[in-house]
Structure 1
Amino acid sequence: MSHVFRRAITFACILAMCVVVLGAYTRLSNAGLGCPDWPGCYGFLTVPNEQHEIAVAQQEFPSSKLEPRKAWIEMIHRYFAGGLGVVVLFIFAVIVRSNQRQAPKLLAASLLVMICFQALLGMWTVTLNLQPFVVMGHLLGGFTILSLLTLIYLRTAKNDITFDSNASVCLKAGLACLAVLVMQIALGGWLAANYAAPHCTGLPLCSNGELFSWSSLLKIPEPASTYEYGVLPFETRLSIHLVHRIWAAVTVLAMIGLAVVVHMKIHQPIIRRAANLVLTLVLAQVAIGAIIVHFSFPILLTLFHNLMAAILLLSLIRVCYFLGRAKKVML
């Protein structure tokens, strides 16, 4: 692939990370319904600010209160997401037209499909008034797009991976850890979609943990005019948050196990360093989560927690990719 294409992939990865962070900030600042329509805002391409524009907005959407700050947060997120869509379309076109046998055409096609589906989820997030399943799907869609871009980046990058007979066993461990981490991210998305963060205070368990119940976890949000700020009962949200914390411990143990297996069986420094990075990131993520609870969920730290989750996922994908390469490279 050309140097220009490599730059485009790098730019797309950075832009996708920005979109994920902006999406998290939109949720955390309660700006998800800052614009009651999609893809514009009150029928305009930007947030209405002139008196005649505001009058039209109030006439067209009488049940919505125009809050410029929240509307701009939502629209900036949409602008970045739209820019990412354009870059992904360029990447798809270049890969499809490439004559190279190793061009990741399936990954490119999957990426384009995910971009289109993510746009639909973005629309449904607004039109269905932050329905939790849609909000969680939107979050996971952003992480999926970022992961696909990272895989394309790794496929088109040069690396010094050599064959290793133990790579197959380690790859299975890595994929198991990836499943554990994806579950943890999904739990975090469900927690965020139901505004469950403040319902579990205290460390390491909830101070009012006696309200926890497995049966309450089975409750799903009932139909409502809006799901902003959550509709589930207190004990259900507390239980969701506590399960997220418990699974975080499982995730840490899984990452420790992966690092141990890699160091015992793999002797290539690049793979060992990648596994060490994953272990460092997951320990830092747990520490950040504890600090967030201790300081009563400050928005910037919570935003950083979301960013770290994305970086941790990409780092683990990188380990699995390296192990997959070590398994396939010919002697």
Structure 2
Amino acid sequence: MQKAYSILLSLTLGLALLVIVLGAYTRLSDAGLGCPDWPGCYGHLAVPEAVDGAQFQRPLETGKAWKEMIHRYAAGTLGMLILGIWVFSVWFRRRLVGGVLMPSLLLGTVLFQAALGMWTVTHLLSPPIVTAHLLGGFTTLALVWWLWLNQHRPRFSTLYHQLTTVRGLALGALLLLIGQILLGGWTSTHYAAVACGVEFPLCHGEWWPASDFRSAFVFDWQPGTNYEFGTLDNPARTAIHLMHRLGALLVFVYLGGLALWLISKRSVLFGSVPYVLLLVLFIQVSLGISNVVFALPLVVATLHTLGAALLLLTVLALNHGLYPARVSSARV
């Protein structure tokens, strides 16, 4: 029974990661409104060959519509797998490690995530909705990963009383990374990734160009407004971009310093996690810089989202290993 549950978690974890990548690819290829209705596409379960122009004002772009629908199919399949995890955890709760609280939280998250997916379309890519949808995807991935770690990941040490400092630093890393992921989502939904042109580390030839921070972080929604390709003026987009750069610098210094400090301890308690953290961090920063200097290539930008997901998984693995497992009477 435990083995079957582990296989289900592994499949769900892989699909959750794929859904995040597909979502990023859909958004970055400007296909977020490829289907102007939900959950179907122009009233069909698949992309139709033609649409009624009187019923749908947005003309059919087949390529974009298929990108959107493939993402929806994958997300729907993920939802079914997560429902399976919840049913499995409830039905066999006396025989599985852990309880039903986290699977229930996961199911609730994916249901709310489906609503956010609908609102993303009906609210015409409203930045707060799209950013929340992105965060929901990362939250889903994180919860599945935590459940997977509960089944597979050995704890770092039994001397937990000696790890108080590391626990605090690891939690700080997680909170800082979540904040940066939110900034990244806000940057993407406002189409601010190239607000500084292709200059790095300068922006418009300056270290700190004219920026409109007052307009950059307004969390409102105007009914009927189409937010595709953004509505902010460039000074506001520049402000968003600069904040994302500063956040990236802070994350790089903090997470890089934490990884190097853990490596310097020469302890087997943390396994390969600090080395993986350092590697993924350098790759992620390199992808971010490449997004700027190469004017946001689709492949690089999509990989940047994947890098953020892998960085989150690594930091979560570090946090997970710093706490003792719950005493369980589960039978395998």
Q: TM-score, normalized by length of structure 2?
A: 0.91
1:79, distance to aligned residue in structure 2 (A): 0.2
* DSSP-derived class of the 1:48 partner: coil
1:176 corresponds to 2:172 = yes
Aligned to 2:3: 3
Gapped regions of structure 2 (runs ≥ 5): 328-332
CA distance in 2 between counterparts of 1:265 and 1:97 reads: 44
Aligned to 1:299: 298
Aligned to 1:78: 72
8 Å contact from structure 2 (residues 155, 323) kept in 1: no
One-letter amino acid of the counterpart of residue 166, structure 1: Q
1:237, distance to aligned residue in structure 2 (A): 0.5
CA distance in 2 between counterparts of 1:119 and 1:204 reads: 38
2:131 to 130, 136, 152: 136
8 Å contact from structure 1 (residues 275, 316) kept in 2: no
1:243 corresponds to 2:243 = yes
1:320, distance to aligned residue in structure 2 (A): 0.5
Aligned to 2:103: 108
8 Å contact from structure 2 (residues 212, 239) kept in 1: yes
1:162, distance to aligned residue in structure 2 (A): 2.7
One-letter amino acid of the counterpart of residue 207, structure 1: H
* DSSP-derived class of the 2:257 partner: helix
8 Å contact from structure 1 (residues 205, 242) kept in 2: no
Identity percentage of aligned residues? 38
8 Å contact from structure 2 (residues 106, 144) kept in 1: yes
8 Å contact from structure 2 (residues 212, 238) kept in 1: no
8 Å contact from structure 1 (residues 38, 123) kept in 2: yes
Aligned to 1:58: 53
Please provide the CA RMSD for this pair: 1.9
Aligned to 1:257: 257
Q: What does the per-residue CA deviation read over 1:107-133, in whole Å, with 9 as the maximum and x for residues that have no partner?
A: 101100001000000000000000000
Structure ranking higher in helix proportion: 1
Cα 1:17/1:181, change in 2 over 3 Å: same
CA distance in 1 between counterparts of 2:219 and 2:88 reads: 43
Q: Tell me which stretches of 4 or more aligned residues in structure 1 moved more than 6 Å.
A: none
CA distance in 1 between counterparts of 2:300 and 2:157 reads: 40
Aligned to 1:152: 147
Cα 1:312/1:218, change in 2 over 3 Å: closer
8 Å contact from structure 1 (residues 122, 138) kept in 2: yes
* DSSP-derived class of the 1:228 partner: coil
Q: TM-score, normalized by length of structure 1?
A: 0.91
Q: What does the per-residue CA deviation read over 1:185-241, in whole Å, with 9 as the maximum and x for residues that have no partner?
A: 000000011111121221113125422244343445662521000011110111101
* DSSP-derived class of the 1:247 partner: helix
Gapped regions of structure 1 (runs ≥ 5): none
